[in-house]
Amino acid sequence: MLEDLLITLSTLSSCTVWVLASNTKVFQVAQRCGVRIIKEHESQGYNQAVAFGFKHFPGEPVAVIPGDVPLASAAEILQLIKPTHNPEELVRLAPDREKKGTNGLFLSQVHLMESGFGVRSYDGYLRTAKAKGIGVEKVFSTGLALDIDTPADLEQLFRQTQEGETIKFLKQLGRHFGPQFLNQGAA
């Protein structure tokens, strides 16, 4: 999943892509895709990692995209990260399919709000932005909306594409574990 996302991100000349992780296998994938790395000394959770990453970019605009959105397209990501027209405080949010979680976060200034990813984070970010008087733009896109968390998400992934590194990997697992592996959770 991460590799598909990084391959897409590496095609964008308008941004610098960083991967923050503590896992050497993640670093290997990042290096293959030609992106930069921020090493977290030990994994302390997603929001703590994002907060750690934010410290590397004081005063700059930042975007956070989780590594489990393999169908995110370059056009969708550009919609999320496009420059703001003036120096206003702005947050852009790309929700998951259920509009509960957040699969893309853009902050026109890194200090605007803290990382709050997780269950119901989309509403949490909307509430925080409203309370702080920060402008919000919502980015609705099918690729960013599909994060892979459940067997149903895998089924949706297979319905939408048969290409990419994630699909290749899952097909290899299916050959190893049998076709029923790929059909788990089927209705």
How many CB atoms lie under 10 A from the CB of residue 86?
7
The pLDDT value recorded for residue 187 is 41
Whether 55 maps to a domain, the answer reads yes
Q: Are 166 and 70 in contact (CB under 8 A)?
A: yes
Q: What percent of the chain has pLDDT over 90?
A: 48
Total domains present in the chain: 1
Residue 139 domain-assigned (yes or no): yes
Specify the pLDDT at position 182. Answer: 54
Residue 63 belongs to a domain with what CATH number? 3.90.550.10
Question: For residues 10 and 34, is the Cβ–Cβ distance under 8 A?
Answer: yes
Rounded distance, CA 185 to CA 187, Å?
Answer: 6
Mean pLDDT of the chain: 87
Structural domain includes residue 181: no
Q: Domain span at residue 66?
A: 2-145
Residue 183 domain-assigned? no
Helix (H, G, I), strand (E, B) or coil at 92: strand
Predicted confidence (pLDDT) per residue in 99-118, tens digit = 999 999 999 999 999 999 99
Tokens of 183: 């059909």
For residues 6 and 19, the answer to whether their CB atoms sit within 8 Å is yes
What DSSP state is assigned to residue 111?
G
DSSP 99: S
Q: Is residue 16 part of a domain?
A: yes
Q: How confident is the model at residue 1 (pLDDT cuts 50, 70, 90)?
A: confident
* Domain-located, residue 75: yes
Classify residue 179: in a domain, yes or no: no
What pLDDT, on the 0 to 100 scale, is given for residue 135? 94
For residue 173, is it within any domain?
Answer: no
